[in-house]
Structure 1
Amino acid sequence: MSTRSFCSRLLLLFLVGLVGGGPAIAAAQTADDAYRFSNRFPAVGTRATGMSGAGGVGGWADPSALYTNPAGLGYYQASEISGSLSGLLSRDESTYQIFVDGPASQNTGDNATARLGHLTGIYNVDTERGSLVFALGFNRTSAFDRELTYSGKNSSSSITDTFLPFGEEFDVSEDNGTVNIDVFPVVPFVAFQAGAVEFFNSRFQNDQYPFLQAVAPGQSIQQDGTVTRGGSMNEFSFAGAVEVAPDVMIGGAANISYGTYVFENELTETATRPGSNDGYSVVVGDRLLEGFRSMFFRERFTSDLTGFNLRLGLSANAAEDVRLGFTVETPTWYSIDETFTDAFIRTEFGNGSLAYGDDPDEDAARGEFQYQLQTPWRLSTGVSYTRDPFLISADVEFVDWSQTRLDADETEFDVTNETLEEYDYVVNWRGGIEYRSENGLSLRTGIAYRPGARGFDFTLADGEETDRSRLFLSAGAGVQLSERLSLNAAWMQERSTDQFLPYASVTPPGESEPIDVPVIDEDVVRNQIRVGFRYSF
């Protein structure tokens, strides 16, 4: 075995490459993340949430008009302020499985957050003829909060299999009897520093692949993981609407979008029989660490997004009790600042531990990156039918996700943009009903559907094909407390299926077959609860 010695020149080159060339390894520049950043709730505001957002595109006097069709502001007869608080309760039920029909284990992760839902001011200009209305508003347009936990026994693979450097990814030299090993890729470098993989000089001298992983092939381990997603997207809008003909409104909104997305992935691998990998040990100075017990891995990134777009709309009474609306929304041009840590690793042995990444100077796996995201155009149309005491509404939205683009000054996103072109267009739809009684009580319900943009894009561990479509169900109620003040409450549930792979299925150096990795199937249910007020004057 060799002692640990590193070439300062190569390490400096390595660190410069990470800071200057970090885009090549930063975690969030993927097609899935671009799609995630661009997805939004079907509804904002309390009344609209109770109807899953239906009604807004057709045009109505509601704060959510800023988000769906600003032409609807023209139907306001008075000025108004409104606001709401929003709570999100998320449950992620996971199934850990390696082989189809193989042993499986289930876990449940719960997450709860509370935030400001919306805050809007509407000003109805006193005009001699027609309608002129301006609005200023804040809306929370999406939330990423959810937590996945999983666990299971595995003797088929380990994340340490993916840490092994290939032949062109390390260099071995000798200086006055001291063997120097330089490992170039970020994660293998961190793993080598933390003792999750080790160089064995005896193997190198015998012309064998010189690295071994802490978890030997076929060794039984317990895997326990947590994947945490957090943050939200928000929209600050300035909008206006004008009546250009009797009961014909046009409107527009200028929107600043901003928010944060946080992703953290943690995995602990524990030997079911500590010390069973007797052939593995790590030399650290004059110490010999042996008797592998466990390994902890963590990766994390935070993306801060700021963007701008325009939303234009038309709404008109097409017939008695029937209203039609159209909305066109430009792409949102986002600037994204990302900080990331590709790997923190700690390896526990029977007589000590070794870690890399917890010291401020151990920054090889940390970096920052800036890039741009352009979302697709959105086209919507809606219709509503009003016949007291009912309002019935529906709308559809067309989005071609293949038009999404990523760009950066330092890096060409050719591969990612080609992957985005594999996405397809979708037609989102939503429908809702509102009942309004004479005593001021309103009852609402709705449904919305967001198809997966990649169609049948993954296979569950049991062999079933599915996609990442999202179904929303909602209900709500409102009560008129006085001529000017009303209170509203709404519930909207989101249901979806997802899948997570803790690590890639690689073919380790010297092996001929890729490893079998665990598949974590997810059933996600997120319940959003909003409570708000409206005050007119």
Structure 2
Amino acid sequence: MKKLYFTVIALAVMTFSQAQDITDAVRYSSDQLSGTARYRAMSGAFGALGGDLSAISINPAGSAVFLSSAATVTLSYNNRQNDTRYFNGATTNDDSDVYFDQAGAVLVFNSTNENTPWKRFTLGVNYSQNNTFDDSFLAQGTSSSSIDNYFLEFANGVPLELLETMDNETITDLYLFLGENEGFGAQQAFLGFQGFIIDPVSNDLDNTSYTSNVASGSFDQRYSYRATGLNGKFAFNFATKYQDFLHLGINLNAHFLNYDRATRLVEQNSNAGSETNEIIFSNNLSTSGNGFSLQLGGIANVTDNVRLGLTYDTPTWFSIEEQASQRLETFSDEFDERVIVDPNVINVYPNYRLKTPGKLTGSLAVLFGDTGLISFDYSYKDFSNTELRPSNDPEFEFQNNLMSDNLKVASTYKLGGEYRIENWSLRGGYRFEESPYKNETTLGDLNGYSAGVGYNFGAIKADVSYDHSSRTDNPQLYQVGLVNTANIQRDFSSIVLSLSFGI
């Protein structure tokens, strides 16, 4: 059994690291529609309604709308379809799974003092799966750009002396040394050099210029991406009802995330003069983190039929740790030789902090007695305020400037309705989320719709919903060198079941 080695990458020399970039920051700052079936059936338009466990995560004042103590658990069946186009190629990936989406309870304490204006106090706790990172796509097609540019960009400026093994020094030894002393960029140059993708312009040990062994022309590329993980939140809630018109609440939120990603590029060419004809480049990343945020909210009963809601979500402050590993394999038709560069090393990056943007949500609900309701939510979230810390680190300063220049305010609009027929409830909703990118092509706008039904058995309520959303995505294969983009049409749908109990 092979021994696995670990190296800690120096933070100050992590320039162009495969992790800690704008793509990851946006991923960890974004939420999906998740929660109870009733909440999702109305597309999450619950900011002025309350009376639902998932509504507490939108507006913490919502727990004070409950008339009695209750608990809810939710399961969801999610399906994700990605239709990917990459130059002349087209593929489809379809993934599905069952998730434990939500669980929570609220305890209601009604005042027995008729003279106090504080009519009700509530304590609640709710777990919600804010975002699932489970995803996969395959981009394959013929490109005029090669992965050799990735290794060249990292190599130019790196002395040849650092890339050649000394007597009795193994690939693992030198890869470890570079990670501990020179950083991620030098490791990429080393892989390219040892894999015969790049060569030095001269054999002087102080040479810092390199050329490619891959001739220009066309390249058949097959890039696979698979990720798993989730972003979850525990909300600890306190709320109160003041007189008969105002509900106030606060959430203390504990966040956690885990994200595992595996990418693999297979590139082949038969270009004249090319000494390297096949390249297989594999990268694995494992991320975990925890964070904290605060929510303040209020719901006002303007009239018996009209409610207004307002919520402020503070930024979430995450502490994140990451580990990564790499493997490179090349083949030459001319020399009939296959080279495998497998350092068998886990790169351990120093913990860093991420501040996601805060959010402001305004809500309006119109109630038609016991017959039904219509609800609308508007949220404002400025993704350009996303920040990696420590912000005085040169790499983080670069990424923060990149986010400030390329990200923008993203507004979200949610509309939902409910109609009751005796013990039955019929529901529907629509939502629109703007892209957080200024160019609106890196990640497009999201459109979604939903529908559902519920039945009140008395002590138990059962709710079922279906929701669907779609958006386009144009991710770069790599941040450096091979910056080709794949065009992905993403379609996400869920069937959700919730059971609610009086406690």
- Is TM-score (shorter-chain normalized) higher than 0.5? yes
| TM-score for both structures, normalised by structure 1 | 0.80
Task: Write the letter of the residue equivalent to 2:404.
Answer: E
Among 378, 382, 390, which residue is 2:372 paired with? 390
Could you tell me which residue of structure 1 aligns to residue 116 of structure 2?
A: none
Could you tell me which residue of structure 2 aligns to residue 425 of structure 1?
A: 409
Could you tell me which residue of structure 2 aligns to residue 37 of structure 1?
A: 28
Could you tell me which residue of structure 1 aligns to residue 397 of structure 2?
A: 414
Deviations 1:294-346 (A, max 9, x none): 221122322212111111111121012111111112111111111123x4211
| TM-score for both structures, normalised by structure 2 | 0.85
User: Does 1:85 find its partner at 2:66?
Assistant: no
Among 129, 143, 146, which residue is 1:140 paired with? 129
Could you tell me which residue of structure 2 aligns to residue 535 of structure 1?
A: 501
**1:271-290 correspondence to structure 2 within 5 Å:** 271=269, 273=270, 280=275
**1:300-449 correspondence to structure 2 within 5 Å:** 300-341=284-325, 343-349=326-332, 351-357=336-342, 359-360=343-344, 362=345, 366-387=347-368, 388-408=370-390, 411-412=393-394, 413-422=396-405, 423-438=407-422, 440-449=423-432
Could you tell me which residue of structure 1 aligns to residue 142 of structure 2?
A: 153
Could you tell me which residue of structure 2 aligns to residue 269 of structure 1?
A: 267
Deviations 1:407-444 (A, max 9, x none): 03893421111122222223211000111111x12111
Among 455, 458, 473, which residue is 1:479 paired with? 455
Contact 1:493 1:528 in 2 (8 A): yes
Task: Write the letter of the residue equivalent to 2:65.
Answer: Y
Q: Measured at CA, do residues 208 and 416 of structure 1 come closer, stay the same or move farther in structure 2, by a change above 3 Å? A: closer
Task: Write the letter of the residue equivalent to 1:441.
Answer: W
Q: Measured at CA, do residues 453 and 153 of structure 1 come closer, stay the same or move farther in structure 2, by a change above 3 Å? A: closer
Contact 1:30 1:416 in 2 (8 A): yes
Task: Write the letter of the residue equivalent to 1:187.
Answer: Q
Could you tell me which residue of structure 2 aligns to residue 100 of structure 1?
A: none
Q: Secondary structure at the match of 2:302?
A: strand
Could you tell me which residue of structure 2 aligns to residue 7 of structure 1?
A: none
Q: Measured at CA, do residues 161 and 484 of structure 1 come closer, stay the same or move farther in structure 2, by a change above 3 Å? A: same
Among 40, 43, 68, which residue is 1:49 paired with? 40
Could you tell me which residue of structure 2 aligns to residue 496 of structure 1?
A: 471
Q: Secondary structure at the match of 1:68?
A: coil
How far apart, CA to CA, are the structure 1 residues paired with 2:421 and 2:392? 60
How far apart, CA to CA, are the structure 2 residues paired with 1:20 and 1:317? 52
Q: Displacement, 1:278?
A: 6.3
Among 64, 74, 92, which residue is 2:54 paired with? 64
Q: Displacement, 1:138?
A: 0.6
Deviations 1:64-90 (A, max 9, x none): 132111111112111111101122211
Task: Write the letter of the residue equivalent to 1:190.
Answer: L
Q: Secondary structure at the match of 1:421?
A: helix
**What are the ranges of 5 or more consecutive residues in structure 2 without an aligned counterpart?**
1-5, 114-118
**1:113-192 correspondence to structure 2 within 5 Å:** 113-129=97-113, 130-154=119-143, 156-164=144-152, 167-171=156-160, 185-192=186-193
Q: Secondary structure at the match of 2:486?
A: strand
Contact 1:22 1:369 in 2 (8 A): no
Q: Displacement, 1:199?
A: 5.2
Q: Displacement, 1:450?
A: 1.2
Task: Write the letter of the residue equivalent to 1:454.
Answer: Y
User: Does 1:94 find its partner at 2:94?
Assistant: no
The structure number with the bigger radius of gyration is 1
Deviations 1:206-242 (A, max 9, x none): x9976432x3222x43211112232111110110211
Q: Secondary structure at the match of 1:312?
A: strand
Could you tell me which residue of structure 2 aligns to residue 4 of structure 1?
A: none
